[in-house]
Amino acid sequence: MSGNTFGKLFTLTTFGESHGPALGAIVDGCPPGVPLSEQDLQHDLDRRRPGTSRHTTQRREPDQVRILSGVFEGVTTGTSIGLLIENTDQRSKDYSKIKDQFRPAHADYTYHHKYGVRDYRGGGRSSARETAMRVAAGAIAKKYLASLGIQVRGYMSQLGPLQIEFKQWECVGDNPFFCPDPERVAELEAYMDQLRRDQDSVGAKITVVADGVPPGLGEPVFDRLDAELAHGLMSINAVKGVEIGDGFASVSQRGSQHRDEMTPDGFLSNHAGGILGGISSGQSIIAHLALKPTSSITTPGRSIDIHGEAVEVVTKGRHDPCVGIRATPIAEAMMALTLIDHLLRHRAQNADVEVSTPRLR
Amino acid sequence: MSGNTFGKLFTLTTFGESHGPALGAIVDGCPPGVPLSEQDLQHDLDRRRPGTSRHTTQRREPDQVRILSGVFEGVTTGTSIGLLIENTDQRSKDYSKIKDQFRPAHADYTYHHKYGVRDYRGGGRSSARETAMRVAAGAIAKKYLASLGIQVRGYMSQLGPLQIEFKQWECVGDNPFFCPDPERVAELEAYMDQLRRDQDSVGAKITVVADGVPPGLGEPVFDRLDAELAHGLMSINAVKGVEIGDGFASVSQRGSQHRDEMTPDGFLSNHAGGILGGISSGQSIIAHLALKPTSSITTPGRSIDIHGEAVEVVTKGRHDPCVGIRATPIAEAMMALTLIDHLLRHRAQNADVEVSTPRLR
Amino acid sequence: MSGNTFGKLFTLTTFGESHGPALGAIVDGCPPGVPLSEQDLQHDLDRRRPGTSRHTTQRREPDQVRILSGVFEGVTTGTSIGLLIENTDQRSKDYSKIKDQFRPAHADYTYHHKYGVRDYRGGGRSSARETAMRVAAGAIAKKYLASLGIQVRGYMSQLGPLQIEFKQWECVGDNPFFCPDPERVAELEAYMDQLRRDQDSVGAKITVVADGVPPGLGEPVFDRLDAELAHGLMSINAVKGVEIGDGFASVSQRGSQHRDEMTPDGFLSNHAGGILGGISSGQSIIAHLALKPTSSITTPGRSIDIHGEAVEVVTKGRHDPCVGIRATPIAEAMMALTLIDHLLRHRAQNADVEVSTPRLR
Amino acid sequence: MSGNTFGKLFTLTTFGESHGPALGAIVDGCPPGVPLSEQDLQHDLDRRRPGTSRHTTQRREPDQVRILSGVFEGVTTGTSIGLLIENTDQRSKDYSKIKDQFRPAHADYTYHHKYGVRDYRGGGRSSARETAMRVAAGAIAKKYLASLGIQVRGYMSQLGPLQIEFKQWECVGDNPFFCPDPERVAELEAYMDQLRRDQDSVGAKITVVADGVPPGLGEPVFDRLDAELAHGLMSINAVKGVEIGDGFASVSQRGSQHRDEMTPDGFLSNHAGGILGGISSGQSIIAHLALKPTSSITTPGRSIDIHGEAVEVVTKGRHDPCVGIRATPIAEAMMALTLIDHLLRHRAQNADVEVSTPRLR
């Protein structure tokens, strides 16, 4: 209720500040009997981990996750899974200067007005460091989904002004940008190098795709699969927009063009992004998210302090010039968490349903 | 949990099929002592009501709402509010032909796979007729928000290829399109007339704005105000995309450009759309939503039936050629419902908070 | 959240005041394909209905329920089920005298302090009339449970000082007390006749039993089956205590006596009431509830009014001298609603579980 | 949803097995600005801690709790509070013998049927060791409640056959039984010594009282304060019954006797236990709970194994001969958690309510 829990049947509840002693999470509702180890989680954590290329923050966190409960003799037991990552590379002194100032476009001002008090070190709870636990929990969800043939993958589809066309999944893991076109990587590197020299930051667009999702997931009316996906993806730091399928391009489309016709051999197109009436159709589920440029830049900006006085703010510390670069595993996690939650919800109510109509792809 | 409830503290739970005997809702959590009458709800219901211009479905429903509980001697009592609208103009025979067919881009196919059984008359539960209850409940939320100086308003910002610049709130209610520029209305009329002649449909973009929202609304991490707004807006029939503030335009922006600087006199811009770190900043909250073209068109389309056989589908019945035209009051309702829910949630936890820092606009 | 919803996956949300125009409910999460008619609900409603013997309130309500959605061609569709009962025999003038007074042991005083405003006619929302909707929804739950071989039944096990031993289910429906021993009915009649002459009321104890519940229902730690049963049963008007199995008798038992030993042929006793560690064991689930004597008696009592001044209160109107007499169908409903909710929750998470160990009874 | 979370606005989510590496919890929704230290939590944890007298299990756990987030510079920040207790004195070898056996009256059999797999060491998740986290979270709730003048205290009111009359709060903390009558302590000691010699266990009854609760807490219909108290208290290991106020004694009372009359000077009695219509009246809230005798006794018992074969079980390991002895702080915690949750819920909806009627005690 207070915002630190995601999901209704497969729930993730998290805690932890950027510069506190640890990040932690409780994953509840995981089916029993799922083989699970810390290595399963570490793989995705390492994909998100900072400090692995010159294009992300230089904070170096090993992000070693421990499973403290809910797994016994290598499989999940169905009870709550406790996860813990100790913080090791906090440098809180970097932030003491801005204790009483509000960085523009940051959560400082809004947390201050909401709570009256805030852990100002590194953004406290509002830091994207919080997303580590999403990725760890998402890895559990992915593991179970994979056992049902469901695969969730993402890639960067735009970096600042540079649109990137999808070419192949194979190369996405081979470059620090999650770029799906190997021939564009050098261009992205050059763009980022110039951006750092400009002491500025830039936005990005990420695309996430789930393949193998059976038809029927999603609840009618308010908890449509697309609505909850939008919720999950928009809850990621810096996200300002979410699209399903053709998204905003649908506005200027005509019905005769947008509707995905069906034949016995399958759908003829996928403008809908795999969701009709809020329920999965069996086609690939496709979502796009827009991430804003981070506000933590060293170019001075005008702001106020807690007394309402004008100040000039320069954000020091170690920051990502494009938070979108590390966002792909986080977006995958939120889609996986949304899907597993809806899978369990669907199963609860509709376990008895048998349909003889063939499924299309 | 099964998708027919919105909100956590101020909750709306709905029922009703397009061609069933009635639509109904229960609004729970409304503060006591709010003056409320059926006329308060009827005003917004009439704004959404079909059959009021030639550009919407010709189904004629008076949509007379009754308040069955929760209001006593003209004010809310704090107990659950029961709402009922009887359906009067169902013509179910129109739909008997497509009982065993799946209309392309409709929820027929996905409901069939989810539930095994469906009320095929007029789309049953998946019909946009369901949104009447959202509008009724939204009117309750708006009434309470207005008492706190919070105003929620929307307008059409794009009809198919025609982008509409915001000019003034005054004229929005004077035309069937919710168009904020009186000089563009004739153009929109002409566009729609041609569209009907083409037997086709088209998408639209709606913009919703909340003014007067205090800073502090929204919960950290998963239940950010923008995430729940995205949830609510994406749950509206036909919506394929949601943006907060600059939305997808943020992707190609730089941090020095996107960040909204602050001075003692207020924010210098509002790229963020009034939300920072998932929490309202006190600026106007701005959201955009993309609605796809409705799939109910009379141009024949390829599909399959429940046996998996190929069929040609022509959607008869009475439909909106642009569902976006009636979507503005619905979008306002979802924003109002999201705001009141977060207002109550904020109040629950943070009632003791006192902040001396001046509030900016 | 505001208290008018029960359950998490199979949810019942209700509205309606004692003297308002109607009572209503939305049942969400019902599996699709369940045969259901208004007659199914009416049977249990008639068991609870007032005015059927001289031992209950003389208010005569037909309590005719209408199903407004969620059922199509005789079976549930999986969408939300709207229920409505119009109130017909309100006599609100009876209550105008006590508009500004607080009846002792009633909810008048507490509602006044909670909400500042209340519908004082017939107790408004705090009236036991609200339980009609529980019974209607419970009938839906019972119908589904019965299809799985689960039967929920209750009886009166004590009326005031008169303890009633269980003899047979057959006669429970044959007398107005839900008394399971036909030889005790005359004694109960005489007791009640004397009570009315005394212008007083008395408490009662109800026992509810579920047979055929499979092992495994109930969630660990906080949402144990017994905890949620206690929640549901204690939420019934006038209930002051709940026991599972041996209940308070367990306090003076020894472990060697209380523990239910197991053999390959089954459990040797059922002190636990069918629940171990919060999870159903496959034995009969047994719960007892204590109902207080109603406070609506014509014997004058001391109280205060809304100004804090002393007054003498005589509760006129039509009331039950023993609310426990009509409580059995309500208790059955709450147990059935709790069980179906846990059945769906169990199924969501544990659908894959296969256990070769034989089930005991 | 999966049972490891308590509360709706002030939520406690826990993890941890008896013999796993650690117990942990996340407390969400705590108001900001509450002074809080690990010492605040440790005080109650020490009251519950095992191994402090010869009458409880000889497992010796320091139960040192760490606060990992949500507290900054000595006060809560409003964000989620992470808590951790490392397990140090597990002796898992004690349990290897009963890996494939079900101890009578334990959760072994039901967990096995629910999940198919279980952590059998020391009862795993079903162990009362889990309650340490309830006590830690309850201490946070108590701290906040105390700042509003609300005090939650409990005592043992019966040990096996020995009923204990309440004498004074002062001595409750001075003996290992939480006995409120210093003159009875020697008798309890002797009873327990004999019980151990008998290799048996016994039940107990605990009474919990909240003083200073304002009128108005509790939601109508399903989430009444008494219903949620019953939920919370019944969720404690070994609890088989819950009473509010006069509880089961109400069954044989008459209305003229049970109703608590009011005068301008206050209520004349408190049969209701401080709750009317599910809402607090301002009187002391009084609840009683029945704890069964633990089933972990060394007297052999008949049972079956996972193959359904008959076995004789002797429960070794270190156990409490009366789990009720350590239950008082746990019961206090559950009442405090229930009260703070309802306080926040009440505040969310009814913050605007002003009532001029004087409050009674």
What pLDDT, in 10s, does the model give residues B240-289? Answer: 999 999 999 999 999 999 999 999 999 999 999 999 999 999 999 999 99
pLDDT of residue D266: 96
CA torsion, ordered B186, B187, B189, B194, to nearest 10 deg: 140
CA distance B79 to B70: 5
Q: Which residues contact B69 (CB under 8 A, 6 or more apart)?
A: B79, B80, B81, B82, C15, C16, C17, C20, C21, C22, C23, C24, C125
List the single residue in B13, B32, B78 with the smallest CB-CB distance to C13.
B13
Nearest CA in chain B to A102: B262
Confidence band, pLDDT 50/70/90 cuts, at residue C95 = low
> D69: annotated binding-site residue?
no
Residue C355 lies in a domain: no
Residue B356 lies in a domain: no
DSSP letters for D306-342: TTS-EEEE---S---S-GGGGHHHHHHHHHHHHHHHH
To test the contact with chain C by mutation, choose from D221, D271, D289 the residue with the greatest count of C C-beta atoms within 10 A, namely: D221
CA distance C114 to D346: 8
CA distance B359 to B110: 48
To test the contact with chain D by mutation, choose from A18, A34, A68, A113 the residue with the greatest count of D C-beta atoms within 10 A, namely: A68
CB contact (8 A) between residue C349 and residue A79: no
Contacting subunits of D (3+ beta carbon pairs below 8 A): A, B, C
In D, which residues are within 8 Å of A78 by CB distance? 2, 114-115, 117
Q: Which residues contact A205 (CB under 8 A, 6 or more apart)?
A: A156, A157, A158, A288, A289, A290, A291, A324, B248, B251
Looking at the 3D structure of chain C, how many domains does it have?
1
* Element housing C47 (H / E): helix C38-48
Q: Which residues contact C1 (CB under 8 A, 6 or more apart)?
A: A1, B8, B9, B11, B28, B29, D8, D219, D223, D345
Tokens in use for C151?
């039967």
CB contact (8 A) between residue C349 and residue A9: yes
Closest to B227 (Cα-Cα) out of D348, B9, B235: B235
List the single residue in A255, A349, A353 with the smallest CB-CB distance to B201.
A255
Query: Where do runs of H (alpha helix) occur along D159-289?
Result: 185-197, 225-234, 255-258
Radius of gyration of chain D (CA): 21
* Element housing D236 (H / E): none
CB contact (8 A) between residue B20 and residue C69: yes
CA distance B344 to B78: 13
CA distance A331 to A155: 9
CA distance B69 to B71: 6
Tokens in use for D106?
């334990």
| Residue A183: pLDDT over 70 | yes
Residue C306 lies in a domain: yes
Radius of gyration of chain B (CA): 21
- The answer to whether C219 and A28 have CB atoms below 8 angstroms apart is no
Tokens in use for C245?
């199995």
CB contact (8 A) between residue D222 and residue C349: no
Provide the CB-side half-sphere exposure for A143 (13 A, CA): 23
List the single residue in C29, C351, C353 with the smallest CB-CB distance to A351.
C351
Find the largest Cα–Cα distance for chain D. Answer: 69
Residue A357 lies in a domain: no
Q: How many C-beta atoms surround the C-beta of residue A261 within 10 A? A: 16
List the single residue in A109, A251, A254 with the smallest CB-CB distance to B200.
A254
CB contact (8 A) between residue B251 and residue A158: yes
In D, which residues are within 8 Å of B348 by CB distance? 9, 29, 344-345, 347-348
pLDDT of residue C96: 66
> D48: annotated binding-site residue?
yes
Q: At C235, phi and psi to the nearest 5?
A: -80, -5
CB contact (8 A) between residue C252 and residue D158: yes
pLDDT of residue C94: 58
DSSP letters for D231-272: HHHHTSTTEEEEEETTGGGGGG-BHHHHS--EETTEES--TT
To test the contact with chain D by mutation, choose from A27, A76, A77, A79 the residue with the greatest count of D C-beta atoms within 10 A, namely: A79
- Torsion over CA: D352, D356, D357, D361 (sign): positive
Could you list the residues of A known to form a binding site for FMN, using ranges.
125-127, 237-238, 277, 292-296, 318
CA distance D244 to B300: 67
Q: Using the structure block, give the residue that is written with the tokens 């090791």.
A: A88
Residue C226 lies in a domain: yes
In D, which residues are within 8 Å of B27 by CB distance? none
CB contact (8 A) between residue B15 and residue C81: yes
- pLDDT of C30-86, one tens digit each? 999 999 999 999 999 999 887 678 887 777 778 899 999 999 999 999 999 999 999
Q: Which residues contact D161 (CB under 8 A, 6 or more apart)?
A: C252
CA distance C132 to C45: 7
List the single residue in C79, C220, C347 with the smallest CB-CB distance to A347.
C347
| Residue A354: pLDDT over 80 | yes
CA distance C144 to C148: 7
Q: Return the number of CB contacts < 8 Å for A and B.
A: 428
> C54: annotated binding-site residue?
yes
CB contact (8 A) between residue A26 and residue D24: yes
- The answer to whether B13 and B4 have CB atoms below 8 angstroms apart is yes
CA–CA min distance B37, chain A (Å): 26
Question: Which region, left, alpha or beta, applies to residue C338 given φ > 0 means left and ψ of -120 to 50 means alpha?
Answer: alpha
- pLDDT of C119-145, one tens digit each? 998 889 999 999 999 999 999 999 999
pLDDT of residue B10: 98
Residue C39 lies in a domain: yes
Residue A211: strand, helix, or coil: strand
Question: For the whole model, what pTM was predicted?
Answer: 0.97
Q: Which residues contact C123 (CB under 8 A, 6 or more apart)?
A: C18, C106, C107, C108, C129
Question: Which region, left, alpha or beta, applies to residue A216 given φ > 0 means left and ψ of -120 to 50 means alpha?
Answer: left
- The answer to whether D267 and D198 have CB atoms below 8 angstroms apart is no
What CATH code is carried by the domain that includes residue D328? 3.60.150.10
List the single residue in A79, A345, A353 with the smallest CB-CB distance to C348.
A345
Nearest CA in chain C to D219: C3
Q: Which residues contact A208 (CB under 8 A, 6 or more apart)?
A: A152, A153, A154, A233, A286, A287, A288, A289, A328, A331, A332, A335
Nearest CA in chain B to A286: B240
The β-bridge partners of C155 are C207
Contacting subunits of B (3+ beta carbon pairs below 8 A): A, C, D
CA distance A157 to B252: 12
Confidence band, pLDDT 50/70/90 cuts, at residue C88 = confident
In C, which residues are within 8 Å of D253 by CB distance? 202-203, 292-293
Closest to C194 (Cα-Cα) out of C301, C289, C106, C322: C322
Amino acid code (one letter) for C20:
G
Q: How many C-beta atoms surround the C-beta of residue C310 within 10 A? A: 12
Domain range enclosing B29 = 5-350
| Residue D293: pLDDT over 80 | yes
For residues B30 and B128, the model is more confident at B30
Residue A279 lies in a domain: yes
Q: Using the structure block, give the residue that is written with the tokens 């953004």.
A: A123
In D, which residues are within 8 Å of A22 by CB distance? 68-69, 82, 84
Contacting subunits of C (3+ beta carbon pairs below 8 A): A, B, D
Provide the CB-side half-sphere exposure for A356 (13 A, CA): 5
CA–CA min distance B212, chain A (Å): 15
Q: What is the mean pLDDT of residues D199-206?
A: 95
CB contact (8 A) between residue B9 and residue C29: no
- The answer to whether D187 and D253 have CB atoms below 8 angstroms apart is no
Q: What is the mean pLDDT of residues B319-342?
A: 95
* Element housing B210 (H / E): strand B204-211
> D293: annotated binding-site residue?
yes
List the single residue in C1, C68, C72 with the smallest CB-CB distance to B11.
C1
Residues in chain A: 361
- pLDDT of A205-216, one tens digit each? 999 999 999 999
* CA C127 to chain CA mean position, Å: 14
| Residue D42: pLDDT over 60 | yes
* Element housing C220 (H / E): none
List the single residue in B126, B227, B268 with the smallest CB-CB distance to A234.
B227
List the single residue in D9, D24, D125 with the smallest CB-CB distance to A68.
D24
Residue A361 lies in a domain: no
In D, which residues are within 8 Å of B347 by CB distance? 347-348, 351
| Residue B95: pLDDT over 70 | no
For residues A320 and B59, the model is more confident at A320
In A, which residues are within 8 Å of D116 by CB distance? 32-33
Q: Return the number of CB contacts < 8 Å for B and D.
A: 51
CB contact (8 A) between residue A17 and residue D69: yes
- pLDDT of C225-273, one tens digit each? 999 999 999 999 999 999 999 999 999 999 999 999 999 999 999 999 9
- Strands A81-86 and A75-76, bridge-based pairing: unpaired
| Residue D96: pLDDT over 80 | no
CB contact (8 A) between residue A302 and residue B263: yes
CB contact (8 A) between residue C69 and residue B15: yes
| Residue B315: pLDDT over 80 | no
Tokens in use for B124?
């049953």
Tokens in use for A102?
């509000």
CA distance B207 to D234: 50
Amino acid code (one letter) for B258:
H
| Residue A58: pLDDT over 80 | no
- The answer to whether B269 and B261 have CB atoms below 8 angstroms apart is yes
pLDDT of residue D54: 82
